[in-house]
Amino acid sequence: MRQQIAAANWKMNLTLQQGEQLLNEIIAKPHSLSAHQSAVFAVPFPYLPMAQAKLAGKTNVFVAAQNCSNKKSGAYTGEVSVEILQSVGIQYVVLGHSERREYFLESNQFLAEKLDICLASGMKPIFCCGEPLEIREAGTQNEFVAKQLAESLYHLSAEQLQQVVIAYEPIWAIGTGKTASSAQAQEIHAFIRAALAAKYGAAVADTISILYGGSVKAANAVELFSQPDVDGGLVGGASLIADEFVAIINALK
């Protein structure tokens, strides 16, 4: 069975003390992860060591960075390299979130460079893709997402691709309270898997975890995650509430 993942994206929220309290509350609540299930916490850069220490020894629980540089090292003030992340024990990094694409103009080609440097160092990327509202309304979301996949991922070998987690985010549903229906989520997740199968073969595509990201919450997680090609969620606002995120973890299939 593919790895099922509940990934929390804290974005630019919480003080260090609030983040520590949130993790304490999550740890204290009853939840369990089977061998094929993982929880990942993508926290702001300064909180990485705290989260690593707080979650140390927890089975199938990982800490992720929310971004990384496309450069290995050097005179890039304000940037954080994969080497720096690994030096504090980080194994996952979120790449290409729609907010990075929109606000910081990260292109598909730029993200391909980040993917390369992550994979060369053994880091596991959570690669985000997804369409804005005008693309969805035009009915061209499949073509839009296919272009993102082709320009950022298709230079990778099959072995490299299998180290990547894909997160599909309908941008129109992020932080808006709108959510793709479970049928809509399944439809495009199946399209993504079929696109990967066309490029790499069905056996490889079937191993890739594809997460849904877009107003996932406790109330809709079970239905979303029950879809055959939805392998968990990349969770924003609901991941900042202990009861909500624990319920989302427990909704993994």
Mean pLDDT of 117-140: 94
For the cut 90, the answer to whether the pLDDT of residue 90 exceeds it is: yes
Using CB atoms within 10 A of its CB, is residue 71 exposed (0-12), middle (13-18) or buried (19+)? middle
Q: What share of the chain is helix, strand, coil (3-state, %, to 5)?
A: 45, 15, 40
pLDDT band at 32 (very low <50, low <70, confident <90, very high): confident
Residue 31: per-residue pLDDT:
86
For residue 30, the model assigns a pLDDT of: 87
CA distances from 211 to 2, 50, 217, 229 (A): 11, 26, 14, 9
Q: How far apart are CA 152 and CA 97, in angstroms?
A: 13
Alpha helices in the chain (DSSP H): 16-28, 48-55, 82-87, 98-104, 108-120, 133-138, 141-153, 158-161, 182-200, 202-205, 218-225, 242-250
Q: Which two tokens stand for residue 166?
A: 């894909």
- What average pLDDT does range 91-107 have in this prediction? 96
C-beta of residue 14 within 8 angstroms of C-beta of residue 22: yes
Res 196: pLDDT: 98
Separation CA 122–CA 102 (nearest Å): 27
Token duo for residue 125: 């990327």
- What pLDDT band is residue 118 in, cutting at 50, 70 and 90? very high
Contacts 24+ apart (CB under 8 A), 81-89: 82/117, 82/118, 82/121, 82/123, 83/121, 85/48, 85/123, 86/121, 86/122, 86/123, 88/48, 88/49, 88/52, 89/52, 89/63
| Confidence at residue 214, expressed as pLDDT on a 0 to 100 scale | 86
First to last CA, the chain: 10
Mean pLDDT (the chain) is 95
| 5: nearest Cα among 243, 237, 225, 239 | 225
Q: Looking at the annotation, which residues are catalytic?
A: 97, 169
Number of domains in the chain: 1
Mean pLDDT of 28-35: 91
Q: pLDDT tens for residues 56-70? A: 999 999 999 999 999
pLDDT category, 231, cuts 50, 70, 90? very high
Domain of residue 239, residue span: 4-250
Average pLDDT over residues 117-137: 95
CA distances (Å), origin 32, targets 25, 28, 251? 15, 12, 10
Q: pLDDT tens digits, residue range 175-200?
A: 777 777 899 999 999 999 999 999 99
What CATH number is given to the structural domain containing 50? 3.20.20.70
Least confident residue range of 3-12, 49-58, 175-184, 212-221: 175-184
Among 59-63, 132-136, 170-174, the range with the most confident prediction by mean pLDDT is 59-63
pLDDT at residue 166 greater than cutoff 80: yes
